[in-house]
Structure 1
Amino acid sequence: MDRLTPLPDLVVSGRRLVTPDGVRPGHVLINDGRIIAVTGPGRVPAAAGHLDAGAHYVLPGLIDSHVHFRTPGLTYKEDWEHGSRAAVRGGVTTVMDMPNTVPPTLDPQALSDKARMVRGRSLVDMRFHIGVDPARPWLLADLDPSVATSAKVFMAGHHTAPTVVRDPAVLEQAFTAAAEAGVQLVLHAEDDGLFALLDGWWGEPDGYRDYERRRPRTGGIVAVAKVVELVRRHGTRAHILHLSSAEEADLVCAAQAAGYPVTFEVTGHHLSFTDEDTRRLGARTRLSPSIRSQADQDRLWRALAHGQLATLGSDHAPHTVAEKTRSAAASPPGLPGVQELAVAVWTGMRRRWPEEDPDVAVSRLVRHLAQTPAELFRLPGKGRIAPGADADLVFFAPDTPWMYSAHDVESKCGWSAYEGWTFTGRVERTLRAGRTVWDASSGTFGTYDGRLLAAAGDGPRPAALAAREGMT
């Protein structure tokens, strides 16, 4: 440290700091919520506070870029207090919330209203994906990056997706506007018309053994092919959410090899469950897109092994027990997952690849749950343990086995599809901006002071599409 560097007010020490340069011993020096230096394992610098992680890994705070915290309008099944407690207990310190609320967040005023509702009620930092309004897709061209830098497109409908883009011309307008504005599109890529055609033939499902057949892989394959073609034509940055099948993964990987700016997310539940679990567990793993076969799951694990996926996400989408115990036709898709995401994926990694060096494995987890989402969504100060970054840190015990039960669930819905699982790996402490927001040893949380993150350094967006014919 030089004379111009402020003295730390907190030092975090550990034998396994997961940094951009690898796993190493040392100290993280923190002042006013930011990392001011990362030093070697020598003498601990003087500071007002000191935390020793010992042999636990010290990870950067994890980022879940796909959550539904249900504010506004649906807070009877989740809210920011409960959702953010679930997040930090799972090592997540930053979330990106989706727009399908009541009302949906389709414009800057709606996002501002949501931010006001959330203020003082969150343990985590946050960014909001704005929704693409099918009636006004050109609004993306004027999107101010201080409001949002990403926009969600629903290409298929379900119980909580009221703003589905069904018209191919409207979808093309959204891709054009997003390309001109530099907005990252995130997409629920299933084909609504294909599902409507099948529904007209099959009728309503009468049980979960038939669920996947009525929401089949072809819906995703057709939609992903459309996205790839639109990316090819317009150069739009597109991120496909909760990709579920082997064919979709192959399509996106081929597009990436051809130089297209398209990436994809895999969820913890698509890595954890198969269609056999849906037949057994019913509504608990009823999802959109569906949980698919063992062969599909194996392909998604290979995508993680080879770094083909960009992000891991939870698609945290709680519903009440009463909602999930409706008939197979009426039960909404979705499950809580932000709390379980990191430990579920880590457990799967250790079971599938037991011989892998744990330092290599944990670095992979950090790459897809911290580093890459921070880069993809332009989250300043997030995703790394390095000078200048926010002091968001996680103490992770990699070898601790423990049984997960309903008593552990922090989500307001009160249930989890992972109940009864024995996880390997446990989050022992989570810090956001240098303050402890979860301490497993005492079972206590910190204070609600999460902040809304603005994008860095992009400047105002052009009003390039405002004068286009038929769009004024």
Structure 2
Amino acid sequence: MAEVNATAPGDAELAVVARKLVTPRGVRPGQVLVRDGRIAAVLGPGPAPAGVPVVDAGDAYVLPGLIDSHVHFRTPGLTHKEDWEHGSRAAVAGGVTTVLDMPNTVPPTLTPEAVREKAALVAGHSLVDYQFHIGVDPDRPELIAEVESSIATSAKIFMAGHHTAPTVIRDAVQLEKAFIAAAEADVQLVLHAEDDSLFALLDGWWGDPDSYQDYEARRPRSGGIAAVAKVIELVRRHGTKAHILHLSSAEEADLVCAARAAGMPVTFEVTGHHLSFTDADTRRLGARTRLSPSIRQQADQDRLWRALRAGQPSTIGSDHAPHTIEEKTRGVQQSPPGLPGVQELAVAVWTGMRRRWPEEDPDVAITRLTRFLSSGPAELFRLPGKGRLEAGADADLVVFAPEDAWMLSAREVRSKCGWSAYEGWTMTGRVLRTIRAGRVVWDAESGKFGTFEGRWLSPRQCDGDRG
């Protein structure tokens, strides 16, 4: 990939030239012209405007900027694990230009005032654009109906708790109030759908797990299946839009797909780690792949991959949830669930796609990946400037080399925690350059990042005013 300059008129500020632009109308050669942070035009092959800096992607793909709709960047209160400067560096190194951050911080982000305070803390410290999922207060779930769309258009419900998820809705009446309020306000619910009471019942019988050999069995699939069934019934009653996060089992996938086929507005996310690891890896890697929901069996992973190929999920997310090595090595009962993943997300999934379906046309495969990581989350979370290479969209672009093979080591990890469950993996595909709003924010060749100019995406900004 080369960068050159020329001289001629034209008001474009940057031209990105490639033989493989991934556009809504397919993969094709051409160039993307950028002006004022937006895509001014997507043209066919030909000379770039003279006098305009050119990024020549060669045979690499040029994708729309990726969107990770499930990150925990740990601000405020947990910044010893992660912060926005490190988290956003990890994001752009993985081709992600927009993130949606979760509310389980200290204090949790449960009110409009808390969202504004978080936005103020993040301002000037992010390489990526961002929105926030507001949290649903277990004591006052009806307040979701009063949240203005300029603050948040999505709300997170935890149906099960763990070390960093203190705001769990356990009461059935309160849970239904949240679904009613979200339907009234047209708020997209995003849910950690596991049945906390079922886990408590099992813990009272079995006791806490004392080895990772037992971990998946102690947080079984039945918790997710029971919770997803509850969600589907509430969606059926109230018409609430519900998005099941980090869906982990074959049965859950079947339930959500059946609900979708019946016309219900329920969707689901799969994560990079549920596509990459099985319970056998947790027995081997221990705390590094201790997660909530837990990593399931090979048959579940196979079902999730079949779902991906059939286009059944709406999004792929990282559930980027870093902890320090010290926290992760405290022992089975004290080690918190979660791993870093925003940097690894696209390359890990692409690696899995090429290994599982080596016969598939790479153009078809990259278009599928782009749907789950760009246009899908942009549509679900109402980010109209994002997720597509076409005139008028934000000039968020990723140059991705699909055949580059490389080994991930700790020195490549950009998250503040400094480790990755994927260390030692040979990856297929590499993010060579990431551009946000027409400016380079990551260049793999130099190892340099851009400046912290990411913005909080209010609906007004998304609808056309970049001010």
Same fold, judged at TM 0.5 (above): yes
Distance 1:226 1:47, change over 3 A: farther
Contact 1:137 1:170 in 2 (8 A): yes
1:280 paired to 2:284: yes
Q: Deviations over 1:170-189 (max 9, x none)?
A: 00000000001000000000
* Offset of residue 48 of structure 1: 3.0
Distance 2:365 2:460 in 1: 30
Report the equivalent of 1:216: 220
Q: CA RMSD in A?
A: 1.3
Check if 1:442 corresponds to 2:446: yes
Contact 1:6 1:31 in 2 (8 A): no
Equivalent residues of 1:277, 1:285 under 8 A apart: yes
**SS of the residue 1:264 aligns to:** strand
Task: Give the drift of 1:87.
Answer: 0.2
Task: Tell me which moved more, 326-335 or 37-46.
Answer: 37-46
CA contact (8 A) 2:327 2:336 kept: yes
Give the match for residue 113 of structure 1.
117
SS at match of 1:208: coil
Deviation (angstroms), 1:42: 1.7
Whole-Å separation in 2 of the counterparts to 1:458 and 1:440: 29
Query: 2: distance between equivalents of 1:395 and 1:43?
Result: 19
For residue 346 of structure 2, give the secondary structure of its aligned residue in structure 1.
helix
Residue by residue over 1:288-326, the C-alpha shift from the partner in whole angstroms, topping out at 9 and shown as x without a partner, is: 000000000000000000000110000000000000001
| Corresponding position of 2:151 | 147
- Cα distance between partner residues in 2 of 1:113 and 1:6: 41
Cα deviation, 1:394-442, whole Å, max 9, x if unaligned, reads: 0000000000000000000010000000000000000000000000010
Post-superposition offset of 1:142: 1.0
The answer for the alignment partner of 1:181 in structure 2 is 185
- What's the CA shift string for 1:325-358, capped at 9, x where partnerless? 0110110000000000000000000000000000
Distance 1:19 1:107, change over 3 A: same
- For 1:394, the equivalent position in structure 2 comes to 398
Task: Give 2:41's aligned residue.
Answer: 37
Partner of 1:237: 241
Q: Matches of 2:14 and 2:407 in 1, distance apart?
A: 33
What CA distance in whole angstroms lies between the structure 1 residues aligned with 2:296 and 2:52?
Answer: 52
Q: 1:301 to 1:113 in 2, by over 3 A?
A: same
Q: How is 1:63-142 mapped onto 2 (pairs within 5 angstroms)? A: 63-142=67-146
CA–CA distance in 1 between the matches of 2:379 and 2:208?
42
Q: Is the 8 A contact 1:379 1:456 kept in 2?
A: no
Structure-to-structure mapping, 1:230-309, within 5 angstroms: 230-309=234-313
Q: Does the residue aligned with 1:395 lie in a helix, a strand or coil?
A: strand
Offset of residue 458 of structure 1:
11
Q: Which residue is 1:462 aligned to? A: none
Length-normalised TM-score, structure 2:
0.96
Is 1:58 the counterpart of 2:62? The answer is yes
State the one-letter code of the partner of 1:306. A
Q: Which runs of 5+ in 2 are unaligned?
A: 1-8
Residue in 2 aligned with 1:165?
169
In structure 2, the CA distance between the partners of 1:284 and 1:457, relative to structure 1 (3 Å rule), is closer
Q: Show the counterpart of 1:433.
A: 437
Aligned pair partner of 1:337 in 322, 336, 341: 341
Corresponding position of 2:381: 377
Q: Percent identity?
A: 76
Question: Alpha-carbon deviation of 1:50?
Answer: 1.2
Q: Residue type matched to 2:104 in 1?
A: N
For residues 206-254 of structure 1, give each alpha carbon's deviation from its aligned partner in whole angstroms, at most 9, with x where no partner exists: 1100101110000000000000000000000000000000000000000
Aligned residues: 455
Aligned-partner Cα distance in 2 for 1:458–1:45: 28
Determine whether 1:201 maps to 2:201.
no
| C-alpha distance in structure 2 between counterparts of 1:380 and 1:359, whole Å | 24
Q: Is the 8 A contact 1:145 1:458 kept in 2?
A: no
Per-residue CA deviation, residues 153-186 of structure 1 (Å, 9 max, x unaligned), is 0000000001000000000000000001000000
DSSP-derived class of the 2:459 partner: coil
Q: Partner amino acid for 2:222? A: T
What letter is aligned with 1:102? V
List, as ranges, runs of 4+ consecutive aligned residues in structure 1 with deviation greater than 3 Å: 456-459
Aligned partners of 1:395 and 1:166: how far apart in 2? Answer: 44
The counterpart of 1:321, out of the listed 297, 322, 325, is 325
Matches within 5 A, 1:7-26: 7-26=11-30
| Displacement after TM superposition at 1:43 (Å) | 2.3
Displacement after TM superposition at 1:9 (Å): 1.0
Deviation per CA, 1:255-283: give whole Å up to 9, x if none. 00000000000000000000000000000
Per the normalisation by structure 1, the TM-score is 0.95
Query: How many angstroms apart in 1 are the aligned matches of 2:238 and 2:438?
Result: 42
Structure 1 distance, partners of 2:52, 2:456, is: 28
Q: Kindly state the Cα deviation for residue 131 of structure 1 after the two structures are TM-superposed.
A: 0.1
